[in-house]
Amino acid sequence: MATEKMVFIGGAGNMAGAVIGGLVASGYPADSIVATGRNEQKLAHFAERTGVQVSTDNTAAVAEADVLVLSVKPQVMKALCESLAAIVSDRKPLVITLAAGIPLAAYQRWLGAGVPIVRAMPNTPALVGTGVTGLFAGDGVSAGQKRIAEQMAEAVGIALWVEEESGIDQVIAVSGSGPAYYFQFMESMIDAAEKAGMPRADAERLTLQTALGAAKLAVASDVDVAQLKRNVMSPNGTTERAIKRFQSGGLPELVEQAMRDCAERAAEMARELDQ
């Protein structure tokens, strides 16, 4: 990766902190990264842990930025962008936003025309280096800038570009919100095992390890997940009976509807935040 001065607003937070940690671990120079925040003690601990520069002055940090990463809550994003608009409009760094729900048009209004902007939608497994980040580039983002955004995402997992901004809503439905789907299923398995008489600690240990093993097997395999499922099933066996119960209970249709609801809510939030 080309070494650019990267400034993370809200950089000591969980998601930005994970990205910064991934970048440093992958060899990006820590002295080329600045993390900003309001809590001096928290920033000092973050600097000690990662080796990056820290600052409580957003404006001063952005004045030196080649890449500006915005990692604050959507509710405060407008005020932040408007406070930085003059300097961002003048310098035109690559802006990468990690906030969910806010459409590109809003950033263009808040920051000014001509600023290259990439929307990035990471998910929480980025915190342990196994994340998925959906990416969408606005007009004026160069191929080199797209590569910077992609490599930043790859520092904590895998990256996927979408051609249309609406594709971000689909990324949210699959991977942005997806970890919660698996947590729900794991919770249900743990509860069921406990009700059947297994100690809860054992049920949790077995469920989590099984989920980890299944995911690793699926990633490593050269066959699709449908075939992997069939590989576990013996005719008229235990697994087949369980799978038939899921299917007769409407699990495939329920998953489809839940993901559709998720994507629709993402689109609704974009309209609500585009003010």
144 is in an annotated binding site: no
121 is in an annotated binding site: no
Give dist(CA 119, CA 152) in Å, integer: 12
Give dist(CA 110, CA 275) in Å, integer: 10
15 is in an annotated binding site: yes
152 is in an annotated binding site: no
196 is in an annotated binding site: no
10 is in an annotated binding site: yes
58 is in an annotated binding site: yes
9 is in an annotated binding site: yes
Q: Give strand pairing partners of 68.
A: 7, 95
**Per-position b or e across 102-133, b if 16+ CB within 10 A of its CB:** bbbebbbebbeeebbbbbbbbbbbbbeeebbb
Residues in the annotated binding site: 9-15, 58
Residues in the annotated binding site for NADPH: 58
Residues in the annotated binding site for NADP(+): 9-15
